[in-house]
Amino acid sequence: MSSRDQILARVRAAVAGAPEAGEVSRDYLTSHIGDDPAAALDLLHENLADYRALVHRTGIDGLPELLARLLAERGAATVLAPSGIPHSWLAATGVTRIDDVEASTAPELDAVDSVVTGCAVAIAETGTIVLDGGADQGRRRITLIPDHHICVVRAPDQVVASVPQALPRLDPARPLTWISGPSATSDIELDRVEGVHGPRTLEVVLVEG
């Protein structure tokens, strides 16, 4: 018998004769801020900033100029953008656009200055951005290897108050990436180090209207 079989056998023996679990109560609040899109957007902004993301707000007409400014401030010469990112978003910048291609290697992605993506949904109460590999988000690794990620969130359509409201919008069979601020970790002495498991700098653009 393998170690796995031994462990599972012990679990079965431990729960033998245990009563069936009751129904899970679903009468909890699905939102603590009510049905208020403006309040949800403000809370998302606050919690994203609390996680040390850099947050910007604009209307759709101001998005190309804002993205151009953010890339210029970064000194970016190249930007990786998935196929679903409209060309109009990057029309105001002279930065070289790089497509998301399957053959890209980790060193090639590491050499990219910035990445611009959309998102699947944003959760106000937790300050979380969720990517699902859609056409405007690309493969997971393009948002993990480069050091600078700009994520565009369209409000109010992509903003929900809570996790219970987000889950029905997501397909669990898709490659979901949940992002709460830039990549960070702390050692035993609580020294915070950013950029270990993903981008060191996360900028979120909240596009209203």
pLDDT digits over 59-90, tens only? 999 999 999 999 999 999 999 999 999 999 99
Q: Which stretch of DSSP H or E encloses residue 184?
A: strand 184-186
**Which pTM was predicted?**
0.84
> 110-146, pLDDT tens digit by residue?
999 999 999 999 999 999 999 999 999 999 999 999 9
Q: Which tens digits make up the pLDDT trace of 159-202?
A: 999 999 999 999 999 999 999 877 666 656 666 666 556 788 99
CA distances from 48 to 134, 184, 205 (A): 22, 14, 11
Look at the chain and count its residues. Answer: 209
Residue in 130, 187, 122 with CA at minimum distance from that of residue 155? 122
Say what percent of the chain tops pLDDT 90. Answer: 77
For 6-46, the pLDDT digits (tens) are 999 999 999 998 988 889 888 888 888 888 999 999 999 99
Q: What is the token pair recorded at 27?
A: 């009468």
Cα separation, 8 vs 15, in Å, equals: 11
> How far is Cα 161 from Cα 43, in angstroms, rounded to an integer?
8
User: What is the rounded CA–CA span in Å between residue 82 and residue 116?
Assistant: 8
